[in-house]
Amino acid sequence: MAPSVTHVTGTVAGDVEVRFTQDGIAVCRFRLTQTPTQWDASAQKWRDLDPIPYICTAWRDLASNAAESLVDGVNILVKGRITEIRDNSIYLSVDDLGISLRRRIAYTETSLPSPIAARPIAAPPAPQPAAASRPATGPGSPPAWWEQKRAANWS
């Protein structure tokens, strides 16, 4: 019988542990808590049910990326296979995971703003004193009234 594939949404509980096998393969383990909700018709509001604890294990690149990305309290979505149910916890072998965007914004390496965008904006140059009326120098030059208004600061 094939393992049961499931999708779980929950909150990372605690730190993510990462280790390496003798062959150098990354393995990470983290706890996940899913808190199902149920509509209470008499009170006209949602109520939390008992939390469901999961112990998740990820391998290779997924393990390395999870160890770098996940912290305590982050809501995530996990796709995995149930491998065991023991000690009131469900054990999942994680195939894929992502950060939930319900309560936060997530940036990827390609969606981060460039370093140029993060530079402070330079102060605008100081205004130069108005020059005396310049004579028209040819076609395309502003008319005399333009220079007079400009010299008078457009009052």
The answer to whether residues 73 and 11 touch, using CB atoms and an 8 Å cutoff, is: yes
The answer to whether residues 83 and 92 touch, using CB atoms and an 8 Å cutoff, is: yes
CATH number at residue 64: 2.40.50.140
pTM of the model: 0.66
Q: Is residue 116 part of a domain?
A: no
Report whether pLDDT(145) > 70.
yes
Q: Is residue 46 part of a domain?
A: yes
Total domains present in the chain: 1
- The contacts of residue 52 (CB under 8 Å, 6+ apart) are 10, 33, 34, 35, 36, 90
Higher model confidence: residue 7 or residue 128? 7
Residue identified by tokens 């008078």 is 152
- Show the domain range for 95: 4-106
Q: Is residue 142 part of a domain?
A: no
